[in-house]
Amino acid sequence: MSGAPDHRGARRGAKTKISGAALEVRQARARLRLLAVLGVLGFVALGARMTDLAVMSPSLPVKVLHITKPEENQTRRADIVDRKGRLIATDYPKTSVYADPKLVIDPEQTAEALATVLTDLDAGQLGARLAQRNSRFVWVQRHIGDDQQHEIMRLGLPGVQFRTEYHRIYPQRALTSHMIGYVGIDNQGLAGIERSFNRRLTEGLYDGPLALTLDLGVQAVVRDELAKAVERFQAKGGNALVLEAATGALLAAVSLPDFDPNHYQQADEIARFNRNTQGSYELGSLFKVLTAGMALDSGAVRITDQFDAAKPLKMNRYRIGDFHAKKRRLSMPEVIAFSSNIGAAKMALATGTETQQAYFRRFGLLDRHPIQLAEVSTPQRPSVWREINTVTASYGHGIAVSPLQAIDAVAAAVCGGPRRPAYLVQEAGVKAPLKPAAVDQDTAAKLRWLMWLVVAEGSGSNGKVPGYLIGGKTGSADKAGPKGYGDRRLLSSFLGVFPIEDPRYLVLVTLDEPKGDEATYDQAHGGWTAAPTVAAIISRSGPILGLPPTDVAAEGWFRDRLVVGEAFNGRLKKTEPSFAAISNNGWSDGGSLQPAMLSPGGGQGCGCASCSTQG
């Protein structure tokens, strides 16, 4: 005790005694004052903390509250929507009844009361289960209706409780099966977007729905038309893609046969297979567009060149012939328009093996496609690239790629500028980076002209659509069977670009082993089976996308560059029209480039990167 009285001072005298008492009082006052100050300081601190809690940070515990709710214990997933916000996948709340036997007063009566509402309930059995006092959880019935829940609540049974659980459902059913995929029993994504974006969908629950580039309207049109074609031509299956040329956004992707993701367990392996991305096929003559692109772009071939296609080309022990042989010299545009293997092979030989490989790489055909899915095939290409591989690759054999890669490669070829590989999810940070231009704008313009010629005068004339000017390329690949090629099983495709004067969309349809009918003169080629399907898709989806019809003047621009002459068909022994291109009327062969020379509208082709479909 610091303020203890001084006993030695008490012996010294009265005067000191008095002063000692005064000192004591003064010391006591000082102590009181100290205590008072400390007390006030303490209350001020408390007050400050209260103000801080009440005023400064009022809403601290809100999120904690949500996480501790019992129904939030299970994995929930964000919705998946299409580009216009239409629901593709969602968590559907389903309510279940359970009971806590420890809280149930009369098991039998409770069971009977429940059975009056839940009609397919076995009251006796439930009563027995509710009588087991050592258990604390008994399912009464899973997935009851809203009105049933209200009725049970009105019964006011002690110990009977509800639990809302979320089940992944797909309201679009089979429409978007492959790209969306499905989830397993534990709500974890097993295929498609559900699998590749599992983290975003589970952890980013509060970041809103995951928006895809797909347009359900276009998707429905594509699935309908493809299904009609598969049925009509008795094909084993088919697949179709619609790609926005400038941006690389996939608007529709259908693979048939497909499945209902709500009941994916019932689908077999074949139905679950995504032909668009998992398949890798020799796509045949579609590749001639790319062959022409690299031949023109590298300068090895000019659009005015001619190739002798009178006789089949012999290479080593192979003999390369044409399906519809003309047995004459073909102009470069005719090689594409009539889909001549001999001509394409000669173009590829002129281009050279190394250049061809370099362009294939630029087109993205040698690597796995970077689309945001797990189910993506690796292209099959020759291990050693010899001259014969160059020749077969020029018309799409000996190299197998996914249809997605093919449509992306053609988009890169007809658009010219830097572009993004095809993608499905719009969100920032998940798209592959822009790829540098595969060919220059001049080459792209010539390729558009060549694809116009294919539809206007060549093998793709069934791809015409009233209202839009279409460019395209047919492809009919012999499927390799156990006995090699040649048993006339085809993979028939058609790739359409519309409108060709300023490409906005590309459509690829591939049919697996179609059979021709009377209307196609028993022909099963791409030009007879896939081309009309593409035309139907374009004519129905163009208006959905708000695309105005082609300006009539645009066709003039294409016609102006065409030279029609006469030639003698050596096989038919008849004269027929021949098609060549005017070299310098419009596009520059090495000269200076002006936009007006590249497309009828004066644009740079596919230039409409910003005008995404909003219609």
Partner 1 sequence: MLKLGLVSLTIAILAACGVYGLKNRVQLQERELHAVERRIDEEKIQIKRLKAEWATLAHPERLARLSAQHLSLKPAEPRQIMAISDIPLREQEGVPGPALVSALSSSAASLRQ
Q: Which is nearer to partner 1, 493 or 533 (CB)?
A: 533
Residues 508-547 that bind partner 1 (CB under 8 A): 539-540, 542-544, 546-547
For partner 1, which stretch binds (CB under 8 A), given 90-98, 105-113, 132-140, 478-486? 90-98
Q: Which is nearer to partner 1, 432 or 544 (CB)?
A: 544
Choose which of 90, 198, 285, 474 interacts with partner 1 (CB under 8 A).
90
How remote is the C-alpha of 351 from its chain's centroid?
34
Partner residues linked to 511 by β-bridges: 238, 492
Give min distance, CB of 497 to partner 1, in A.
Answer: 15
For partner 1, which stretch binds (CB under 8 A), given 33-41, 170-178, 353-361, 447-455? 170-178
Partner residues linked to 497 by β-bridges: 471, 506
Choose which of 164, 278, 523, 612 interacts with partner 1 (CB under 8 A).
164
- Is the Cβ–Cβ distance between 424 and 213 less than 8 Å? yes
Q: Which is nearer to partner 1, 1 or 552 (CB)?
A: 552
Tell me the backbone φ, ψ of residue 108, rounded to 5 degrees: -65, -45
Quote the CA–CA distance of 43 and 32 in Å, as a whole number: 16
Quote the CA–CA distance of 55 and 58 in Å, as a whole number: 6
Dihedral in degrees, nearest 10, Cα atoms 216, 505, 200, 165: 10
Choose which of 42, 47, 93, 486 interacts with partner 1 (CB under 8 A).
93
Give min distance, CB of 542 to partner 1, in A.
Answer: 5
Cβ partners under 8 Å of residue 577, min gap 6: 457, 564, 565, 566, 567
Q: Which is nearer to partner 1, 220 or 413 (CB)?
A: 220
Q: Which is nearer to partner 1, 251 or 348 (CB)?
A: 251
Quote the CA–CA distance of 106 and 575 in Å, as a whole number: 99
Quote the CA–CA distance of 506 and 471 in Å, as a whole number: 9
Partner residues linked to 239 by β-bridges: 255, 510
How remote is the C-alpha of 506 from its chain's centroid?
15
The yes or no reply on residue 87 touching partner 1 (CB under 8 A) is yes
The yes or no reply on residue 235 touching partner 1 (CB under 8 A) is no
Choose which of 129, 163, 173, 232 interacts with partner 1 (CB under 8 A).
173
Give min distance, CB of 171 to partner 1, in A.
Answer: 3
- Per rule CB under 8 A, count of chain residues that contact partner 1: 31
Strand, helix or coil for residue 395: coil
For partner 1, which stretch binds (CB under 8 A), given 164-172, 235-243, 294-302, 580-588? 164-172
The yes or no reply on residue 217 touching partner 1 (CB under 8 A) is yes
Choose which of 179, 210, 216, 344 interacts with partner 1 (CB under 8 A).
216
The yes or no reply on residue 175 touching partner 1 (CB under 8 A) is yes
Partner residues linked to 262 by β-bridges: none
Choose which of 436, 466, 565, 577 interacts with partner 1 (CB under 8 A).
466
Q: Which is nearer to partner 1, 210 or 445 (CB)?
A: 210
Strand, helix or coil for residue 610: coil
Q: Respond yes or no: is residue 285 known to be catalytic.
A: yes
Give min distance, CB of 548 to partner 1, in A.
Answer: 5
The yes or no reply on residue 219 touching partner 1 (CB under 8 A) is yes
264 sits in the region (left: phi over 0; alpha: psi -120 to 50; else beta) called alpha
- Is the Cβ–Cβ distance between 291 and 394 less than 8 Å? yes
Q: Which is nearer to partner 1, 175 or 415 (CB)?
A: 175
Catalytic residue among 280, 285, 377, 539: 285
Q: Which one, of 425, 490, 508, lies nearest residue 197 by Cα?
A: 425
Q: Which is nearer to partner 1, 1 or 64 (CB)?
A: 64
Quote the CA–CA distance of 192 and 180 in Å, as a whole number: 5
Give min distance, CB of 549 to partner 1, in A.
Answer: 4
Can you give the three-state secondary structure of 186-199, one letter per residue? CCCECCHHHHHCHH
Q: CA separation (Å) from 111 to 125, 151, 197?
A: 9, 14, 44
Annotated catalytic residues are: 285
Binding site for partner 1 (CB under 8 A): 86-88, 90-93, 164, 169, 171-173, 175, 216-217, 219-220, 224, 465-468, 539-540, 542-544, 546-549
